[in-house]
Structure 1
Amino acid sequence: MHRLTAELKRPSELTPAEREAWIAFTDDNAALASPYFRIEFAECCEEVRSDTRIIVGRVGGQVRGFLPLQLGRIGYARPIGGPLGDVHGLIVPPDAESDPRDFLRAAGVPLFEFHSAIGVTQGWREYGRCQDGAWICDVSDGFDAYLETRKMFSPGAMRNYRKRLRRLEAEEGGFAFQLDDASPKNLDSMIRMKRSQYKQTGIFDVFSVGWTQALLAALLRRRSDRFQGQCATLSINNEVVAIHVGMASERQLHYWFPAYNPAFSHVSPGILLLMELIRWSAAEGLAGVDLGPGDYRYKAELGCYQMPLWSGCVMTQSAPTMLRGAAQALAGRAEKLPIGRLGSLPRRALRKADKLASFYAW
């Protein structure tokens, strides 16, 4: 019986045969509908982060799967896209019996700290510490059918949606929706509004790290029959009041970075823009819109179901051996973190340090 072998490659180093296998696996596996699983996303990550790698797994010389990741400098790996990765997992055929530990061990990766691993595929539950869920808007039967379903389960939300539309029509004369509005000005505006929101709420500013802005710009430049970066806008009286930057595969749109002008909050421009994106997805024949995880009321009201996501850790070495190596590497970099020395910090600060490390590509 052949065992799994693996090698680490940059996305740009994949052979034509490996790329064909990747596309075939995502075409055949309905669980891999997200644009996060498209090879174009991995290529954009490589543009902005030099630690982007793909584990290519083989059995008997035949490609059996891929695991995209960021290979950190202190000795362990995280999912591709780092903290911006809302969903990830093994890219394998739908009937494959795959264990992520086999891929990591064969590639010599000692530890993989994961979040939002797709729970409907095999292998992740064994290593998971906690479970979350991404809210999915099912538009496979069209936008009208989606609205009828939401009227049944979220009647109040649908009434509010119609009320906002009437108010906007009466007060402002309606709105204009534009999908492909990826000008540098709109991207900069979204980032500026989002950074203001992060500051007001005390959430870590993901755009304070250079590669995150560069990644969005790279994604907006990419377009193929299986992937597209998107910058959508909603305008009132020729003024852009809401912006969304995200991406879509040929099967699913991922709702990612929305922002809106607070001066227009009385008509909820962010929700109106989201509804237009859902309408567009249905018209284009996509199966769904992934709103991502999070305990937000609008996600529960507009989402049709939750896709399970697991967070946890996979180790391929003994804990003492792995921790000694990681501790030595961490000691040399600890004082570079913007929160000071680690030795005297409480557990909450250590969790912050780990999050910062993932942003700063350790």
Structure 2
Amino acid sequence: MRITVVRPGELGPAELDRWRRLQRCDPELGNPFLAPEFTLGVGRFRRGVRVAVVEDGGEVAAFFPYQAGRAGVGHPVGFGLTDLQGIVAPPDLRLDARRLLKECRLGVWDFDHVLAHQPTFAPFHTVRRAEPVMDLTGGFEAFLTKARAASPKTHKTIRYKERKLGREVGELRYVFDCREAAELDRLMAWKSAQYVRTGRSDRFARPWIVALVRHFHETGFGVLSVLHAGDRPVSAHFGLRCGTVMAGWFPAYDPAFGRYSPGMIGHLKLAEGCAAAGVTEIAMGRGGKEFKEGLTSREIPIAEGRVARPLSRYAAGVALHWARTAPVNRAREAVLGDRRLYDRADRLLKAYARLRSRRAGRP
């Protein structure tokens, strides 16, 4: 096999067409985070984004998108923003992962949402989890019937609050594909405030992420959906679409209407809008949100781990990277794996956020 490393913008029409055809070899590869548009988009705003093109017998057999950092440390493209990672290849293709890293001039490659069934990285898994999916193959009503049967209390509550929101605030109106830039800015402002309110790192404090989201919206790869009550936007969602697959990305709502659970209502409206637009599944992303349990149709097995070349010229960087990240990864895994610890950590983060806001003089 021959491996060539290129910048995303150096891929020609033939390579991009081959990438998209390889996506159709495996149903899970249809996810937008594994589409060429995502790698091309991130490559516009971040240095070090590369694609390893694997050829076998004169034909491209696989694409491995990655992001190279300092001291030979690599990550998936858009690390920290992606809910699905991997190599774009037929499901039975097995590559030597360490040789792949060598050709990419990497000493280590960290991953946290890689497709668990891909054989190339299977020996390097340290943790396996699952990503929830809303299956809309049979249409919205079929999805809703199954979801309601699986979690009747959740859906009864959503419908009650939906009617209450309509009565007390105004008639509900849902726009599946909103092209207004001002509405996107509103969503990012809501989400930024939520990050601060809950003690999380504010992704939209990073200009490159704001620019990336705007780029995807302008090109149509990103879909902005907005729920209105009367003339007031109350919740919104920005996701990425690739063919019949939607990847949930940034949901947000106006906290002034929090008692109506507008985010939950918005997710059901999103499912209805997606089904009408020809989307057959929504990948909701990993996380401990209880509401996802009432909407999940199936799950995609994903894995966390790292491939390392400890004897390479990047050995020092590999060792330092391990020392910095291993304790944090273990702590995170303990929290994610235990609902009580997760809830406790969530409360602590929110308490810290309130304390930080008071010190900064914010209400």
TM-score, length basis structure 2: 0.84
Q: Superposition RMSD on alpha carbons, in Å?
A: 2.5
Shift, 1:101, TM fit: 3.6
CA deviation vs aligned residue, 1:39-73 (integer Å, no higher than 9, x gap) = 11111111111221111111233211011111113
Q: In the alignment, what sits opposite 1:248?
A: 241
2:30 is aligned with 1:33 = yes
Please report how far the alpha carbon of residue 250 of structure 1 lies from its aligned counterpart in structure 2 after TM superposition.
0.8
- For residues 270 and 240 of structure 1, what CA distance do their matches in structure 2 show? 12
Distance 2:124 2:319 in 1: 22
Q: Which residue of 1 aligns with 2:68?
A: 71
Q: Does the 8 Å contact 2:174/2:228 carry over to 1?
A: yes
1:201 and 2:194 aligned: no
Q: Is residue 92–residue 118 contact of structure 2 (8 Å, CA) maintained in 1?
A: no
Query: Which of 181, 187, 191 is matched with 1:190 structurally?
Result: 187
Give the drift of 1:90: 0.6
- Within 5 Å, give how 1:140-155 maps onto structure 2: 140-155=137-152
- Pairwise CA distance, 1:296: 1.0
Which deviates more, 208-217 or 163-172?
A: 163-172
Deviation track 1:20-45 (CA, whole Å, cap 9, x = no partner) reads 21011012321212111111111111
Counterpart in 2 of 1:269?
262
Q: In the superposition, relative to structure 1, how do residues 322 and 73 fare at CA in structure 2: closer, same or farther (>3 Å)?
A: closer
One-letter amino acid of the structure 2 residue matched with residue 309 of structure 1: I
Shift of 1:11: 1.2
What is the distance in 1 between the residues matched to 2:20 and 2:289? 34
CA distance in 1: counterparts of 2:252 and 2:41, whole angstroms: 23
In structure 2, C-alpha distance between the alignment counterparts of 1:156 and 1:33, rounded to whole Å: 32
- Structure-1-length-normalised TM-score: 0.85
1:257 correspondence with 2:254? no
SS in 2 for 1:84: coil
Query: Which segments of 5 or more consecutive residues in structure 2 lack a partner in the other structure?
Result: 333-363
SS in structure 2 at match of 1:282: helix
Taking the TM superposition and a 5 Å limit, the aligned residue runs for 1:164-313 are: 164-223=161-220, 228-313=221-306
Structure 1: how far apart are the matches of 2:142 and 2:118? 28
Match of 2:90 among 66, 78, 93: 93
Q: CA deviation at 1:99?
A: 4.7
Contact persistence 1:47–1:218 (CA under 8 A)? no
**Is residue 115 of structure 1 aligned with residue 112 of structure 2?**
yes
Q: What is the percentage of aligned positions where both structures have the same residue?
A: 27
Asked if 1:137 corresponds to 2:127, the answer is: no
Deviation at 1:273, TM superposition (A): 1.2
Q: Which runs of 5+ in 1 are unaligned?
A: 331-341, 353-362
**What is the one-letter code of the residue matched to 1:281?**
C
Q: May I ask how many residue pairs the two structures share in their alignment?
A: 331
- Per the alignment, in what secondary structure is the counterpart of residue 177 of structure 1? strand
Q: 2:70 aligns to what SS in structure 1? A: coil
Give the corresponding residue for 2:41: 44
Structure 1 residue 325: Cα displacement? 4.1
